[in-house]
Amino acid sequence: MPVLLNPDRAPALSELLRAIPGGLVQSVVPGIGQWTNPRIAGLGSLASAGPNEISFIVHPKYLDQLALTQASTVIVLPEIEVQLAQLAEPVHFARVICKHPYLLYARIAQWFDWARMPAREIAIHASAVIDPTATIAPSVTIGPHVVIGPRCKIEAMSQISAGCVIGADVEIGASSLLHPRVTIYDGVKIGARAIVHSGAVLGADGFGFAPDPTLARGAWGKIPQLGSLLIGNDVEIGANTTVDRGALENTILEDGVKLDNQIMIGHNCRIGAHTAMAACVGVAGSTTIGSRCTIGGASMISGHLTIGDDVHVSGGTAVTANVSKPGRYTGVFPFAEHTDWQRNAAVIQQLSTLRKRLRKLEKE
């Protein structure tokens, strides 16, 4: 990662750590000479970090990189610090002792992301179209060509970027960020500190249709989607992800849910707190997913299922039944050369017949 701040503006290590919340730092071991309390201008990997940057190590297998790093400061696990203290030659860099190095790195990265941004200009662009019944806090920023519908409520310090369209009766909590071209349908409620990336569509109609032979053979009649979409605090929704409103009950994303890009969440789903989904996951309607779950990329989850807390689904897995027990679940058939795959697939298709024959032989 490149240096993020001019070294002359960069904080000293002690100053930077005081600015990081969470009480993650156990102790700090000064480096040698100029690295006693170095200035930190950015972050980098062990291999790429320069003398004004901080890095981290999460596993002893990277100790060979640690010996060669040019970073002025490294975040290390306590057990790695023990190994460093036993070296014949003292290391030059300062060490920040922490049980969760990756989390501390994330918090420091957040600080730099904030520090490098220019001061936000609080303004409403002249091209924005805002219904006079909408309530907009004085500290909200609204970009060009934004449309905000009747009776909307947008709370303090939120930012609505260019081209967003917000329907009637939408509520957006404090310090939320909508990137350009987000579309929010009527009645959607979003909590505080939300981040919604470009192209996301929140609260569109769920896929609800009933066979209607009075119209034509094979015709479908639309089922109105009368529910809404409720989104908790600290939720992040990726680019071009869609979350449908409910048919009767609301679709709900609880606090801390993280959705990657190009995910589809069907109507009446409920996603538990702090569950994270990677790109291209599809969740069919009326499915409940518990808290602290992880769903790997391109996984498909059938409708009307219940998945419990602390369930971790590997990428590409199709979940077609309820999952009540915490743990990791995988349903991916490994790829192979095409001719080998065809032979294996042919065997799988015969498993039911082979099972019957085996049972018959066992009885005999």
Token output for 48? 């790429």
- What does 40-68 look like in DSSP terms, one character per residue? --EE--TTT--TTEEEE--SGGGHHHHHH
Catalytic (active site) residue 338: no
H or E stretch covering 160 = strand 159-160
Q: Are 227 and 251 within 8 A, CB to CB?
A: yes
Distance CA 300, CA 283 (A): 6
Could you give phi then psi for residue 231, rounded to 5 degrees? -120, 130
Residue with tokens 């989390």: 103
> What stretches of 162-262 adopt beta strand conformation (E)?
165-166, 171-172, 177-178, 183-184, 189-190, 195-196, 201-204, 209-211, 220-222, 229-231, 236-237, 242-244, 251-253, 258-259
* The amino acid at 262: Q
Query: Which residue among 267, 274, 304, 338 is the active-site one?
Result: 267
Rg of the Cα atoms in the chain: 26
**Looking at the annotation, which residues are catalytic?**
267
